[in-house]
Amino acid sequence: MFSFDVVPGKVVKDILDSSVERIVDLVEDAYLRHDGGKTVNPDSYFLRFPAKPDARIIALPAAIELSEDHAVGIKWISSFPGNVAEGIPRASAALILNDYATGYPKALLEAANISAVRTAASAAVAARAFARHVTPDGRVSFIGAGVIARTILRYLVATDYPLHSVEIFDLHAESAQHLARFATEELGLTAKAVGSLAQALTAQTVITTTTAGTPYIGQLLRPGQVALNISLRDFQPTVILAAENYFDDVEHCMKANTSPHLAEQATGSRDFVSGTLADVLKGRTQPQGRRGLVFSPFGLGVLDLAVGQYVLTAARAQGLTVEIPNFFGETSRW
């Protein structure tokens, strides 16, 4: 009852790297459980800094009823874009898992990779679901070329999403070149960096993975064009209002001046909402493809918990956790 384990980042990464298909299944299952009322997913809480307006640390508390147990805990994830200039990742994270019976913390996991793969798996689940209704032509572009873009690309390959050609645009041209080289040399894809946003927007599937704080893309999507709006603040409200719009959770996405939130503010309504990813997965709604399609996932803490619980179970089974003796100072009331 009072054991407490730490799972280091390398252990987490090795387990995740060998479990891509399993992670996709876990994330899809978590979405369906969330839709079925088997989760508790409060609002995320943002810690911001007046002297560093682009930086933030976010708390995502959540709980999910899994098939074998409840996963309960909180992800604490920072986004400091200034890190990129120093050659270190923008995001870092920790995940605390609690025991459902007693509430005691039971494990601490390095969670930057957990956060990245749950985001990538979410994108892959959505892309696969929409492809059943809006046929992809294999032309995919990424706007933003960081860790999230790289991880999404791996997950799209793993789920057999058509990737005949990949074009990558980033304001930091060297990052685009790095991702194109990764796609070519590591994944065997036909990929190249492109020099303009306009070129990237010609692809049939457009994936935004930037750190943009305010929308800058005003070009409307074509019928049959799909945008995975992962970074949430790239598309101007006019683009959202002209498209079919699907969400991981509508209420969560209508916050923090995301592109859909700005569209809601501009119109005073949510008439532009077409449904959720779970609606599509369960066949309650079908994308039509007569307009562009936008998927906006705010990022649910329950996904981190589902993936984190899987990693903890695997790490314990392999004897790879670091147990902290006497972590709790008192284990009885008297």
Q: Looking at the structure, do residues 48 and 127 belong to the same domain, yes or no?
A: no
Cross-strand pairs, 208: 143
- The CATH number assigned to the domain holding 63 equals 3.30.1780.10
Q: Looking at the structure, do residues 255 and 140 belong to the same domain, yes or no?
A: yes
* Residue 333 resides in a domain: no
pLDDT for res 27? 98
pLDDT, one tens digit for every residue, the chain (334 residues)? 789 999 999 999 999 999 999 999 999 999 999 999 999 999 999 999 999 998 999 999 999 999 888 999 999 999 998 998 888 988 999 999 999 999 999 999 999 999 999 999 999 999 999 999 999 999 999 999 999 999 999 999 999 999 999 999 999 999 999 999 999 999 999 999 999 999 999 999 999 999 898 999 999 999 999 999 999 999 999 999 999 999 999 999 999 899 999 999 999 999 999 999 999 999 999 998 999 999 999 999 999 999 999 999 999 999 999 999 999 998 898 9
Q: Looking at the structure, do residues 307 and 286 belong to the same domain, yes or no?
A: no
* Residue 331 resides in a domain: no
Domain that holds residue 110: 5-114+301-323
pLDDT for res 90? 87
Instruction: State the Cα–Cα distance between residues 323 and 73, nearest whole angstrom.
Output: 18
* Residue 330 resides in a domain: no
The closest alpha carbon to 84, from 60, 61, 55, belongs to 55
- Angle between helix 147-158 and helix 173-185 axes, rounded to 10 deg: 20
* Residue 160 resides in a domain: yes
Q: Looking at the structure, do residues 133 and 273 belong to the same domain, yes or no?
A: yes
pLDDT for res 300? 96
Instruction: State the Cα–Cα distance between residues 257 and 265, nearest whole angstrom.
Output: 9
Q: Would you call 80 helix, strand, or coil by DSSP? A: coil
64, 76, 305 from 109: Cα distances, Å: 17, 11, 11
* Residue 165 resides in a domain: yes
Q: Looking at the structure, do residues 219 and 167 belong to the same domain, yes or no?
A: yes
Instruction: State the Cα–Cα distance between residues 74 and 109, nearest whole angstrom.
Output: 11
pTM: 0.95
Helix or strand run (H / E) with residue 28 = helix 20-35
State the total domains in the chain.
2
Q: Looking at the structure, do residues 149 and 287 belong to the same domain, yes or no?
A: yes
pLDDT for res 1? 73
Q: Looking at the structure, do residues 232 and 159 belong to the same domain, yes or no?
A: yes
Q: Looking at the structure, do residues 282 and 134 belong to the same domain, yes or no?
A: yes
Q: Sign of the C-alpha dihedral, residues 198, 203, 206, 207? A: negative
Q: Looking at the structure, do residues 105 and 163 belong to the same domain, yes or no?
A: no
Report DSSP letters for 138-198, one per residue.
Answer: SEEEEES-SHHHHHHHHHHHHTT---SEEEEE-SSHHHHHHHHHHHHHTT---EEE-S-HH
Q: Looking at the structure, do residues 165 and 286 belong to the same domain, yes or no?
A: yes
Burial class (CB in 10 A: 0-12, 13-18, 19+), 112: buried
* Residue 329 resides in a domain: no
List alpha helices for 52-172, DSSP H.
112-131, 147-158
Instruction: State the Cα–Cα distance between residues 134 and 128, nearest whole angstrom.
Output: 10
pLDDT for res 220? 98
Q: Looking at the structure, do residues 279 and 238 belong to the same domain, yes or no?
A: yes
Euclidean distance between the first and the last CA atom of the chain, given in angstroms as a whole number: 17
The mean predicted confidence, pLDDT, of the chain is 96
Instruction: State the Cα–Cα distance between residues 213 and 161, nearest whole angstrom.
Output: 29
Report whether 144 contacts 209 (CB < 8 A).
Answer: yes
Q: Looking at the structure, do residues 274 and 131 belong to the same domain, yes or no?
A: yes
Query: Token pair for residue 200?
Result: 């990237």
Maximum Cα–Cα distance across the chain: 69
Q: What is the pLDDT of residues 125-155, one digit of tens each?
A: 999 999 999 999 999 999 999 999 999 999 9
* Residue 239 resides in a domain: yes
